[in-house]
Amino acid sequence: MGIGWIIGIVVGVLVIAGIVYLVILDSKKKSRALEEGELTHGWLVQANDGLFEDGFMDLPGLVVVSPDRETNDDEDFMTELADQIMELKGEDPDECDDKGEAKIAKWMADETYVEGRRDKLPKSFTDGKTVYLVHIMIYRDHLPGKRLGPRRKIPCAIIWDEKSLVCTRPRSKEELRKRDAELDEDDDD
């Protein structure tokens, strides 16, 4: 066996050890968010396209979420807000009419997932309400059918500290019953 083989084996072992370490670290963060975090929901702004298809990888996305329950539960308001933010994707911040829109357009231009990142949306954009644009890790095992569907509302857990920790969470049985009842109502229409 030559030195090249030995180096290749060592590099391979180091890569595998690195991957195992990252998986364990991610699992610990996910467990902490689910155990200690506030169980709430976010409103999907955007997600990696792969999450809308069958697959096995957990991937990131962006949601809007408010620490104020009344605001966060206002489906019309939060859905419209998520739509408005998505419309700013691809806009040149220098060409926006409003400073708040320019700031959001700049955030939307950067598709890099940054764990723990949350940006407070300008009050001029949120009718004075406290709402954040939050980077989220979307775990397939928390999604019906292990993929995103057409609904914007995504159950999540969030730790509201200086560096937010947020991830999707499995739906409770009560939430699943409510969703099924809503789907049955939609079928009747």
| 12 and 77 inside one domain | no
| 31 and 86 inside one domain | no
Q: What is the pLDDT of residue 47?
A: 87
| 13 and 79 inside one domain | no
Q: What is the pLDDT of residue 80?
A: 93
Amino acid at 130: T
DSSP reduced 3-state for 31: helix
| 172 and 113 inside one domain | yes
| 94 class by beta-carbon count within 10 Å (0-12 exposed, 13-18 middle, 19+ buried) | exposed
| 15 and 57 inside one domain | no
Q: What is the pLDDT of residue 44?
A: 92
Q: What is the pLDDT of residue 154?
A: 87
| 150 and 124 inside one domain | yes
Count structural domains, the chain. 2
| 29 and 59 inside one domain | no
Domain encompassing residue 11:
1-36
Q: What is the pLDDT of residue 66?
A: 93
Looking only at the bridges linking them, the beta strands covering 59-65 and 132-138 are antiparallel
Amino acid at 85: I
For the chain of 189 residues, list the mean pLDDT of each consecutive stretch of 10.
Answer: 76 74 69 74 89 87 92 93 90 82 86 85 92 89 82 83 62 60 60
